[in-house]
Structure 1
């Protein structure tokens, strides 16, 4: 039985109190987080520029961008460590911009934070690390101990309570960090590059845990990352940030299927089928040889025997070069590349007409003189 399965098996008994607390939150506004035209400048650097964004109750929103895009500034504004120069930020309907440090303490108790490098206290045990925010909040020791036991069972570390961080793996340290972030029953969990310091297998286990927490507790999660694979694995929606601006956002499957911005396409390059380098290197805009097209399908149009129907409808009119089918949020997302003889305009028109009838997104990427 895996750690995640163990956590699931013990969830009903060990975390009943956590679940009950989540169920009691019924009067919150639909948007747990709301940003309206938020800007933040550091000297000549515009870290955030008129950012407007909402995170709905119970959803996982992934924010992705390159280093220096503004992700860290955004998250620091959300937890009150930075004050924007202009704009409004609301957490659970409460405006936090302009609050004093004392007033922010109450807001921060509703926001849990998971860090890239765990930020555990090496001289304290796992249980003591998780208990620390509860101790600071003045919770009685008996109640604190009960809560810590619940949380460690929830993240699959019930047997590690007396261990010190040095004895833990990276994934176990991050589970401790997640348990600590959940200690005060927050409405919002902020994850700042929470998996970027982990190996791929451990990353998958942490993402599985975050997804399970979202489903079981209904907790809202805002996930900051530079890895599109992380977004694909757990997020419901994604927002792409570049130079301090949100340049694209939407349901993950739609953004994967029809990326609108070049940066988004670049970030997706490692996850979506690409034209083989041997062909891409010989592409030309001069009409010759074969016309090369990229084809995207998504949603209901991509279900079923799509490529079989395509081949049967237009036998011999095109050649499949490369492609693949993925499933994101229960939607099929298909991308493939085809070649059509440039000299046969009739076949080209027939193929394009059929694809457009199927609601495909089609783009001519160029021509190659010959296929090798």
Structure 2
């Protein structure tokens, strides 16, 4: 019962039909999004938001803006406050203090009836799909439109358009039980888009899916963002998801945003220990056998890590360019241990580890000076005696 009532809380949101008319075609939908863009640059604004449950502070002084057309990821471990944040955004939770605005309209302090018109601008995609098993795909997608009072012809036209948009035009008459997990999530996305929202909230939308299906759903979200200009706020605990689709990322820990910025920048220069931990599976790491030998006693070899980001030139990746230059200009002065390059938002993001003999202080200084000139972030992580 709880799941259905939470889902229907979003469906009943579309009573303000005269304010946001339902586009009958995709062209009209795109025109409506373009018109709305002129109204407000910021789709979401949180300003010093706090939410407490007894002695537990689920959100602590959270401030964040999401601009129209952005895909912004909110990442954090279980218990970080992600679910509370998303429930505050869709009006299912009320913050104790602070300001939340959707398209410039404050939602804190609104009555349940007043919240309905705000929710009409917010689509919700759930982790476990939340489809009604007794209704067909077509009926599930049409449900928010039916509740809002659209006639049968309008509903049928809009549902057909949406199912084509998510690649399920041949599944309209099927029931959820006959669908795969990825197909169910596509139905959930189509339903969330039914009333042409300005904002799509995705709450762990891929965490119940296998890796291949996850990739297809993320590609769909990217496509919808590009075709419709829809703003997406993605709640996840998977940094891989952030890397694939988000433009910006905010790291949530203990109810606080501890780091925020463009995805490429956060990958290239993670500031917090938590962010570095979340990235550990995606970025090259020091070999375990070598890490176990690390000491703070200056002897043997000094081990350094390097983070570096360079913008790709007209889409041509500058793969490993810093290593090529380093090897050419400082040949024989260092030993490369491990490294790799990734490409995020037209940036080549490089991380590698190298060592230099402590006895050769001149080489060490030459290398550090050269890397600083390249605007690379260099960190001494310890010393080892002998080779790993």
Do both share a fold (TM > 0.5)?
yes
For 1:14 and 1:337, the matched residues in 2 are separated by 54
Which residue of structure 1 aligns with residue 318 of structure 2? 303
Matched, 1:225 2:233: no
Which residue of structure 2 aligns with residue 150 of structure 1? 161
Q: How does 1:81-92 map to 2 (within 5 A)?
A: 81-92=92-103
For 2:47 and 2:357, the matched residues in 1 are separated by 51
Deviations 1:25-67 (A, max 9, x none): 2332111000000000000100001100000011000000000
Which residue of structure 1 aligns with residue 9 of structure 2? none
Deviations 1:199-228 (A, max 9, x none): 000000000000000001000000000000
Q: How does 1:325-364 map to 2 (within 5 A)?
A: 325-364=341-380
Matched, 1:127 2:127: no
Which residue of structure 1 aligns with residue 111 of structure 2? 100
Confirm or deny: 8 A CA contact 1:15 1:154 kept in the other structure: no
Q: How does 1:14-53 map to 2 (within 5 A)?
A: 15-53=26-64
Structure 2: 5+ residue stretches without partners? 1-23
Matched, 1:275 2:291: no
For 1:24 and 1:180, the matched residues in 2 are separated by 22
Secondary structure of the equivalent of 2:39? coil
Aligned-residue offset at 1:14: 7.0
For 1:14 and 1:169, the matched residues in 2 are separated by 28
Alignment root-mean-square deviation, CA: 1.3
Structure 1: 5+ residue stretches without partners? 1-12
For 2:174 and 2:305, the matched residues in 1 are separated by 53
Confirm or deny: 8 A CA contact 1:292 1:364 kept in the other structure: yes
Confirm or deny: 8 A CA contact 2:25 2:158 kept in the other structure: no
Confirm or deny: 8 A CA contact 2:308 2:350 kept in the other structure: yes
Matched, 1:289 2:304: no
* Equivalent pairs, count: 360
For 2:264 and 2:34, the matched residues in 1 are separated by 29
For 1:22 and 1:254, the matched residues in 2 are separated by 29
For 1:17 and 1:134, the matched residues in 2 are separated by 17
